Amino acid sequence: MSSPPAPSPCLRDVRNQRMGTASRVAADHAESALARMMAYQGSPLPDLEAAQAADPAWGLPLLMQAGHWLCQNEAAHLPRALALLEAATPLCTQAPEREQAHLTALRAAAEGRWQQACRLWDELLLEHPRDALALLWAHHWDLCLGDTASLRLRPARSLPEWDEGDPLFPQVLGLYAFGLEENNLYPQAEDVGRRAVGASPCAPWAVHAVAHALDMQGRFEDGTAWLRQHQPRWAEDNAFAAHLWWHMALFRLEALDLPGVHRLMDAHLSGAATPTQSQRLDAAGLLWRMHLLGEDVGARFVELLREAPPDLSEAGHWAFNDVHLMLAFLGAGELVQAENWLARCAARAMQPEEARRSNHAVAREVGLPVMRGLLALARGEAEQAVATLQAVRPLARRLGGSHVQRDLIDQSLMAAAAQAPHAPVGRALLNERLMAKPATPLTRRWAERLRLSLS
């Protein structure tokens, strides 16, 4: 009896892209993991481990695990990611060029060379515009870099090449919607985001993009209704859940519904509901906004630090995180710890071996000045806070994150201007807000604090 034919060494995925495995079982598990990564639904790790078990010679499942850990943006996960990349390296020597390109780009990301990683994914996407991993990972590091242009343009270059029947098409459409929003194209972002959610209710980037567009237009009640409408699909077993609860809290803060914000904090933005660092930093940013309004949230800051004491090895890993951890120290009244944190971040930013990391110049030119301005505000040195924050404000985009996240810098500057008092700065900032969106209750509160009339 003749032996069965050997399996094809060149399987293709549902987007007709060559894969480095001949195992259909491994390929199916990898596709399932990819769907989870794009929708942030559950953990992709069990499927990736199953793919690895089905074909131990295939490197892509290891690369996808490494990318998963790198996207947490925590220094504590870096050794695990590096070990996965090391294990994947010999497995990728005969892999398709697309998978080898992912290895090279992820190595750059792991070394902190985020801009180089994005350039490599851009090159990959020219040949493989339907590579969802390249779109997802480059989008993540664009956000870290504050590269608003690429957030819009990269998915725009790829989307026309996608089949609208592809299960991942709504997720890519969600990435594009967010890129439109970060480029101040709010009606377009809302339209594209709603279209994506209509195609797939479980499209968290699209839900998120519409929430941002509504926030930036001052439509806080529309935003609350939007998130509530889609809550059943994003609030359970979804990595976006805590961040979308944070957006819900921001909408309630814009309405000056402080009791509502406290209820959301209790239910969704504290304790076991925020197991990751990024979720806790969202909580710190929300609490800081409340603190600036005079709300007594010191005990909440203390509890935040008690539940998850900051890992000092994280200092200087990403300036965006550094700033938010500074807020936690300041809000808890731990000025000495805040000064020590600033010193650690500054020491790392001055190390010559850090120069190749994308965070290096950002930390020195943006992160450290923002932290110094916040520290001056907490010390009651309002004039110094105004001068420092006003000087660094034009560079704030480079800190990374979104416009909504970075708004805490403007609100801190308004608080400093109200304390100084520095009427020209306060008036200028208030005018910017009024030109961008209608006078919300929060904006009116800031006008009162700045002793300015909106009539």
pLDDT digits 0-9 by tens, 104-157: 999 999 999 999 999 999 999 999 999 999 999 999 999 999 999 999 999 999
Task: Check whether 8 has a pLDDT greater than 60.
Answer: no
pLDDT digits 0-9 by tens, 363-385: 999 999 999 999 999 999 999 99
Token pair for 76: 């504590």
Instruction: Determine the Cα angle at 168 with ends 164 and 171, to 5°.
Output: 100
What local confidence, expressed as pLDDT, does residue 5 receive? Answer: 40
Mean pLDDT of 391-397: 97
What local confidence, expressed as pLDDT, does residue 3 receive? Answer: 47
Which band of pLDDT confidence, cut at 50, 70 and 90, is reported for residue 9? Answer: low
Candidate from 39-43, 192-196, 306-310, 330-334 with smallest mean pLDDT: 306-310
Task: Check whether 430 has a pLDDT greater than 70.
Answer: yes
Taken in order of first residue, the domains within the chain and their CATH numbers are 7-141 (1.25.40), 147-239 (1.25.40), 257-455 (no CATH)
Question: Helix H segments across 332-440?
Answer: 335-349, 358-362, 368-378, 382-392, 403-419, 423-436
What local confidence, expressed as pLDDT, does residue 288 receive? Answer: 98
What is the value of pTM for the model shown? 0.95
Q: Single out the residue of 359, 329, 38 nearest to residue 204, CA to CA.
A: 38
Which band of pLDDT confidence, cut at 50, 70 and 90, is reported for residue 355? Answer: confident
Task: Check whether 196 has a pLDDT greater than 60.
Answer: yes
pLDDT digits 0-9 by tens, 31-73: 999 999 999 999 999 999 999 999 999 999 999 999 999 999 9
Q: Round to whole Å and give the CA distance between 451 and 455.
A: 12
Q: Round to whole Å and give the CA distance between 106 and 66.
A: 8
Q: Single out the residue of 278, 366, 288, 272 nearest to residue 329, CA to CA.
A: 288
